[in-house]
Amino acid sequence: MSIGQDVGSWRELGRHTSTSVVLAGGVLVGAITIYVAASLLPTAIQDIGGRPLYAWTMTAFLVAEVVATMVVGQALFRFGGKGSYLIGFGVFAAGSVLCAVSPSMPVLLVGRGTQGLGAGLLTGLGFALIHSALPPRLWSRGSALISAMFGVGNFAGPALGGFSAQFGSWRSAFVVIAVVAAALAVFVPRALPRGERPAQAPPVPVVSLSLIVGATGAVSMAGILSGTLAMAGFIALGLVLVAAFLVTEKRATASVLPGSVYRPGSRLRWIYLTIMVLASGVSVETFLPLFGQRLGGLPPAAAGFFAAALSLGWSVSQLVSASARETRRLVLAGPACLAAGFAVLGLLQTEQPPLPLVLAWLPVLFFGGMGIGIAMPHLSVAAMTSAPEGEGGKAAAGIATVLTMSTAFGAAVAGLLVNLGGPSVLTSARWLLFGFAAISALGLLTARRAA
Q: What is the pLDDT of residues 278-298, one digit of tens each?
A: 999 988 887 887 788 788 888
Residue 387 has pLDDT above 60, yes or no: yes
Higher pLDDT, 134 or 437: 437
How far is Cα of residue 345 from the mean position of the Cα atoms in its chain?
23
pLDDT at position 147 is: 78
Residue range 415-432, pLDDT digits in tens: 788 878 878 989 999 999
pLDDT at position 36 is: 79
Q: Mapping DSSP to helix (H, G, I), strand (E, B) and coil, where does residue 352 land?
A: coil
Q: What's phi and psi for 291, nearest 5 deg? A: -65, -40
Burial, 6: exposed, middle or buried (Cβ in 10 Å; 0-12, 13-18, 19+)?
Answer: exposed
DSSP string of 72-141? HHHHHHHHHHHHHHHHHHHHHHHHHHHHHT-SSHHHHHHHHHHHHHHHHHHHHHHHHHHHHHS-GGGHHH
Q: What's phi and psi for 398, nearest 5 deg? A: -65, -25
Q: Label residue 203 left, alpha or beta by phi (over 0 means left) and psi (-120 to 50 means alpha).
A: beta
- Cα 16 from Cα 192, distance rounded (Å): 10
Burial, 200: exposed, middle or buried (Cβ in 10 Å; 0-12, 13-18, 19+)?
Answer: exposed
Higher pLDDT, 35 or 123: 123
Give the model's confidence band at 364: pLDDT under 50 very low, under 70 low, under 90 confident, else very high. very high
pLDDT at position 3 is: 38
Distances in Å between the Cα of 182 and the Cα atoms of 25, 116, 188, 387 are: 11, 16, 10, 34
pLDDT at position 385 is: 83
- Cα 253 from Cα 75, distance rounded (Å): 19
pLDDT at position 184 is: 94
How far is Cα of residue 330 from the mean position of the Cα atoms in its chain?
20
Contact 119, 61 (CB under 8 A): yes
Residue 196 has pLDDT above 60, yes or no: no
- Residues 6 or more apart whose CB falls under 8 angstroms from that of 354 comprise none
Residue 5 has pLDDT above 60, yes or no: no
Residue 2 has pLDDT above 50, yes or no: no
pLDDT at position 4 is: 41
- Cα 279 from Cα 405, distance rounded (Å): 9
- Per DSSP, 203 falls in state P
pLDDT at position 216 is: 79
pLDDT at position 306 is: 73
**What is the average pLDDT value for the chain, to the nearest integer?**
85
Residue 105 has pLDDT above 70, yes or no: yes
> Which range has the worst mean pLDDT, 78-92, 124-138, 213-227, 364-378?
213-227
Contact 450, 356 (CB under 8 A): no
- Cα 204 from Cα 71, distance rounded (Å): 7
Query: For the residues 428-447, what does the mean pLDDT come to?
Result: 95
Residue range 236-266, pLDDT digits in tens: 998 999 899 989 988 887 777 888 888 888 8
Look at the alpha carbons of 64, 66, 72, 74 in this order and tell me if their dihedral is positive or negative: negative
Give the model's confidence band at 200: pLDDT under 50 very low, under 70 low, under 90 confident, else very high. low
Three-state SS sequence of 230-245? HHHHHHHHHHHHHHHH
Query: For the residues 181-208, what does the mean pLDDT come to?
Result: 78
Q: What pTM, to 2 d.p., does this model score? A: 0.78
pLDDT at position 115 is: 97
pLDDT at position 199 is: 60
